[in-house]
């Protein structure tokens, strides 16, 4: 869901131009927010003690890639 929201945010930056053009628009806050979201997700899914707090199971790279690919397609 987080990956879908990130892709949706990038796609909706402009209704006139494509994502290929708008990705280069200067917006430093956007990249800080995306970076923080990804970092928090990495910590939650790969730090065992944090995973235990949320009662999550470990994810392998194939599962993560499947989630990101599904988010990109949607």
- What digits encode the pLDDT tens for the residues 47-57? 999 999 999 99
The range of the structural domain enclosing residue 14 comes to 2-73
State the CB neighbour count (10 A cutoff) for residue 34.
Answer: 15
Number of domain units in the chain: 1
If you average pLDDT over residues 57-64, what whole number do you get?
92
pTM beyond 0.85: the answer is no
Q: For residue 16, with 0-12 CB atoms within 10 Å meaning exposed, 13-18 middle and 19 or more buried, which class applies?
A: exposed
pLDDT band for position 23 (cuts 50, 70, 90): confident
């Amino acid at each position: 869901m987080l990956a879908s929201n990130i892709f949706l945010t990038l796609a909706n930056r402009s209704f006139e131009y494509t994502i290929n053009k708008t990705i280069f628009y200067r917006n430093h806050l956007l990249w800080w927010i995306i970076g923080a979201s990804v970092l928090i997700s990495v910590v939650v899914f790969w730090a065992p003690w944090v995973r235990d707090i949320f009662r999550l199971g470990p994810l392998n790279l194939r599962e993560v890639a499947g989630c990101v690919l599904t988010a990109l397609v949607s």
